Amino acid sequence: MNNKRIHLSIMCIFGYVLIAFAANTIADTILIKNATIYDGNKNEPYQGNILIDGKVIKRVSPNDMQGDFIIDASGMIVTPGLIATDTNIGIVEIGALSVTRDDSSEIYKIGFSIYDAFNPNSTLIPWNRSNGITSALTIPQNTSSPIGGLGSFFVLDGKLDITGAKDIVMTGSVGGSSNHSRSETYAVIDDLLSFAKSINQKSLDTDKNISELIGDSPIAEFMELHPRDIRALFELINNDMPLVMKAHRASDILKLVELKKKYNLNLIIMGAQEAHMVGDIIALNDIPLIINPINNIPGSFDELASNIKMASRLEKYGIDLMFTAPRSHNYHLIRQGAGVAVAHGMSYATAIKGLTSTPAKVFNLEKRGEIKSGNYADIIIWDADPLEPSSMPEYVFINGENVDLTTISSRLRDRYTSDPEKPNTYRD
């Protein structure tokens, strides 16, 4: 009898060990089932299931599948992770506090890169991630040159082992925000691009060669360019680097179109509040736009033609459209901007694409922006319509990992609403 009890006890202990082991193992696959899927490609949503295996999407199908861990997304909308296109995430904490800013340079102009300053522990990352943004293009402030400053792509998983792509885009600005005449600005841009066109690979072999190149160029010497600046100009002209230029006025947009054609630029225009006035020319020259539909009231003389229906008018030309918003902590407002665009005539599918697959295509972000087999599993499960500001993610997957949605804001909320030691004023 005693032997039976001992044997039973041993079996129970063994069973508990097995249960504990199973509880601590990571599921091999995750199945999201019964979801309403906006995959970032198709114009219409569809009911289906998504199987995640490791970092990637293994299968998307309306048919039943098996997974080690199952999430029932019945009644929920599932989209690709949102891609932010014009941010200072990871390089700025508080805009008004200079010691928290790594977005500008007093030494380099064109070749200034923010990549090495990126902080994966930035408070902006969990805040924006909790609003569905899973990756971002982080770009510097405009430098003293009208073109210059290199932006990089980052996956917002918060890991110290940073996943990203370094120096994939150059930025610039023309128009009313400049302290110089437009004529002077365009002359400098034209001279710089003409100089860039003359650079060959051999001249980049050594810093000495680059110094000689600078000495032979009036514009390079006048602008006090450094070797990093020269290499960045070479990439812009010779390796199809995207150039994101901020401009609003229709006449400025037309001037940028001329420069695109003259130097075969991979041009993207940001802001573009008067773009609908020249939409046919923008479309003819295949220029993507980054717009903010919330900003539909003229804020300067460059934006007098701002219109709340701008997005829908541009969509009719077949232009690739993406969204921007006030930077840092407010970047989640790209969802609201897309919603405003839909409320005033833009198709829902185009708005979703503008947050996902369009930036992935425009900035050559491989295997992101679309829910399909083989892509990275950047997936958001929403509690309601993602274009409604009050909607929030229930789950956020980045590279197949279900990430924590806790933020400083949510911790403060919980502290003052659920802690029994706090005064009644701070509790429900």
- Establish if 407 belongs to a structural domain: no
Ranges 17-31, 56-70, 83-97, 163-177, most confident = 56-70
Does some domain include residue 144? Answer: yes
Give the residue with greater pLDDT, 330 vs 124.
124
pLDDT mean over 177-201? 88
* Cβ contact 48:61 at 8 Å: yes
Contact 210, 203 (CB under 8 A): yes
Return phi, psi of residue 227, to 5°. Answer: -55, -40
pLDDT-based confidence at 178, cuts 50/70/90? Answer: low
Residue type, 420: P
68-92 per-residue burial string, b: 16 or more CB within 10 A, e: under 16: eebbebeebbbbbbbbbbbbbbbbb
298 in a structural domain: yes
Residue 7 has pLDDT above 60, yes or no: no
Q: Which residue has the higher pLDDT, 225 or 25?
A: 225
Minimum mean pLDDT range among 103-117, 173-187, 240-254, 335-349: 173-187
- Per the CB < 8 A criterion, the answer to whether 300 and 246 are in contact is no
- The mean per-residue pLDDT over the stretch 295-323 comes to 93
- Whether 1 is in a domain gets the answer no
Residue 417 confidence class, pLDDT cut points 50, 70, 90: confident
CATH of the domain at 240: 3.20.20.140
Task: Provide the pLDDT confidence category of residue 331 given band limits of 50, 70 and 90.
Answer: confident
Number of domains the chain contains: 1
Separation between Cα atoms, residue 296 and residue 273, nearest integer Å: 8
**Residue 8 confidence class, pLDDT cut points 50, 70, 90:** very low
Task: State the residue range of the domain holding 255.
Answer: 82-372
What is the average pLDDT score of the chain? 89
Mean pLDDT of the 242-262 span? 97
Q: Could you count the other beta carbons within 10 Å of the beta carbon of residue 219? A: 17
The proportion of the chain whose per-residue pLDDT surpasses 70, expressed as a percent, equals 90
237 found inside a domain = yes
User: What is the rounded average pLDDT of the residues 265-288?
Assistant: 97
* Position 150 in a domain: yes
- Is residue 291 assigned to a domain? yes
- 25-71 confidence digits (pLDDT tens): 355 899 999 999 999 998 899 999 999 999 999 999 999 999 999 99
Residue 165 domain-assigned? yes
**Residue 295 clears pLDDT 80, i.e. is over it:** yes
CA distance 256 to 189: 10
Tell me the C-alpha to C-alpha distance, in Å, between residue 182 and each of 114, 174, 219, 230: 27, 7, 17, 24
Average pLDDT over residues 380-398: 96
Cβ neighbors of 44 (< 8 A, separation 6 or more) are 349
pLDDT in tens, 340-381: 999 999 999 999 999 999 999 999 999 999 999 999 999 999
